[in-house]
């Protein structure tokens, strides 16, 4: 854990996307003695809008100038993934704590570079924005597993199938552009990060992918742009101890199942669904059907990424959700899926 010698922590924002505007800026502003003092966005106009909307005093024309400002203690990085590695490494080298948006990087090589930069500065906090899924149920599920409610894990099912890209007339989304998004398909990485809270990293993956509409309207001008990230992926996995996993992700499933994680064991089942509310269901042999479990208020930790980041900077806690080492795991998984699909062959983990 790192600490700061100043009474207040001065934050610079690099990239103010939706999550930064909705969660990070308000969350940080609510913490005592935390000041958001500077911002740079993709264009001067959007930088000015963010500064005006949130009362941020300093605007920077380029992210490099914000990083170089010695008055800034920590950087919150809300850009698209194509900038995560470069900005993170530069910020750490400049002696600044970093909170980087999810989708750690575009690929495993970039993620490893970020991890090495963090290891080189153990005096600084390097944290990834965690998956929001499963935070409310995390402690309850962990206790159920520790108490052997499901017995020996046999099968894992991870679903993330909806219709977010069903309408082919919509502009190409940045998540459909591999130059920006990298190997992370749909919500594969963030849902795998969630599952890793309760199950081990697979030792083998076997994947297939498909893109059903090869082009979408160009968001930057006339004509169409190629879709370079699949809109359907299925993955079979093997885990230590012999358990098997099935992953199904799609952006073109009309009335699809949404986001869910199922844990099937030798003595019981745990199922969690993610929608407007997290709902946790459990069942054993004597149960006619799964029953919904109410999570006690004292176990509902919920979202606290900004508080955890500041708490770690002040030396009051360690980063638990999510450090760069944990990010490497989901990055390795998403890259293994991409390699397997490209080769039509199973791929073993860890990757060399």
CB 309 within 8 A of CB 296: no
Q: What percent of the chain has a predicted confidence (pLDDT) above 90?
A: 94
Please spell the DSSP secondary structure of 100-136, one letter per residue.
Answer: EPSS--SSHHHHHHHHHHHHT-TTS-EEEPPP-TTTT
Q: 242 and 206 in one domain?
A: yes
Q: 186 and 108 in one domain?
A: no
Q: 270 and 176 in one domain?
A: yes
d(CA 35, CA 11): 6
3 pLDDT more than 50: no
CA torsion sign for 143, 149, 152, 154 is: negative
Q: 250 and 338 in one domain?
A: yes
Q: 260 and 162 in one domain?
A: yes
Say which CATH number the domain at 201 has: 3.30.360.10
Residue 326 placed within a domain: no
166 pLDDT more than 50: yes
Q: 146 and 73 in one domain?
A: no
Phi, psi torsion values for 250, nearest 5 degrees? -155, 145
Q: What is the pLDDT of residues 45-88, one digit of tens each?
A: 999 999 999 999 999 999 999 999 999 999 999 999 999 999 99
Q: What is the pLDDT of residues 243-301, one digit of tens each?
A: 999 999 999 999 999 999 999 999 999 999 998 899 999 999 999 999 999 999 988 98
Residue 157 placed within a domain: yes
Domain containing residue 54: 9-129+304-320
174 pLDDT more than 80: yes
CB 157 within 8 A of CB 262: yes
Number of domains in the chain: 2
- Peptide bond between residue 278 and the one before it cis (omega within 30 degrees of 0): no
Q: 195 and 102 in one domain?
A: no
Residue 158 placed within a domain: yes
| Per-residue pLDDT at 47 | 97
Residue 81 is classified by DSSP as G
d(CA 349, CA 333): 8
Residue 205 placed within a domain: yes
| Per-residue pLDDT at 5 | 45
CB 186 within 8 A of CB 251: yes
């Amino acid at each position: 854990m790192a600490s700061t010698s100043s009474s207040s922590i001065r934050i610079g924002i690099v990239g103010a996307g939706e999550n930064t505007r909705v969660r990070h800026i308000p969350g940080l502003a609510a913490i005592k003695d935390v000041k958001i003092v500077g911002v740079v966005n993709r264009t001067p106009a959007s930088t000015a809008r963010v500064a005006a909307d949130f009362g941020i005093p300093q605007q920077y024309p380029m992210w490099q100038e914000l990083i170089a400002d010695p008055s800034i203690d920590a950087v919150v990085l809300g850009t698209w993934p194509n900038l995560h590695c470069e900005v993170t490494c530069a910020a750490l080298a400049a002696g600044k704590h970093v909170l980087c948006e999810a989708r750690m990087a575009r690929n495993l090589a970039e993620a490893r570079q970020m991890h090495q930069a963090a290891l080189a500065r153990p005096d600084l906090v390097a944290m990834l924005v965690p998956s929001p899924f499963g935070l409310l149920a995390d402690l309850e599920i962990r206790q159920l597993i520790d108490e052997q409610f499901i017995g020996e894990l046999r099968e894992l099912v991870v679903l993330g199938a909806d219709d977010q890209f069903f309408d082919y007339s919509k502009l190409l989304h940045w998540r459909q552009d591999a130059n920006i998004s990298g190997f992370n398909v749909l919500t594969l990485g963030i849902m795998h990060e969630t599952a890793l809270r309760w199950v081990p990293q697979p030792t083998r993956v076997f994947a297939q992918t498909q893109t059903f509409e090869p082009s979408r309207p160009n968001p930057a001008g006339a004509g169409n742009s190629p879709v370079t990230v699949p809109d359907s992926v299925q993955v079979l996995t093997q885990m230590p101890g012999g358990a098997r996993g099935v992953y199904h992700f799609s952006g073109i499933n009309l009335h699809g199942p949404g986001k869910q994680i199922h844990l099937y064991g030798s003595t019981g089942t745990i199922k969690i669904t993610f929608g407007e509310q997290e709902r946790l269901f459990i069942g054993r042999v004597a149960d006619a059907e799964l029953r919904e479990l109410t999570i006690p208020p004292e176990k509902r930790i919920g979202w606290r990424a900004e508080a955890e980041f500041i708490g770690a900077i002040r030396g009051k806690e360690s980063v638990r959700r999510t450090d760069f080492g944990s990010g490497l795991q989901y990055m390795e998984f998403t890259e293994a899926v991409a390699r397997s699909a490209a080769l039509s062959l199973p791929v073993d983990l860890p990757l060399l």
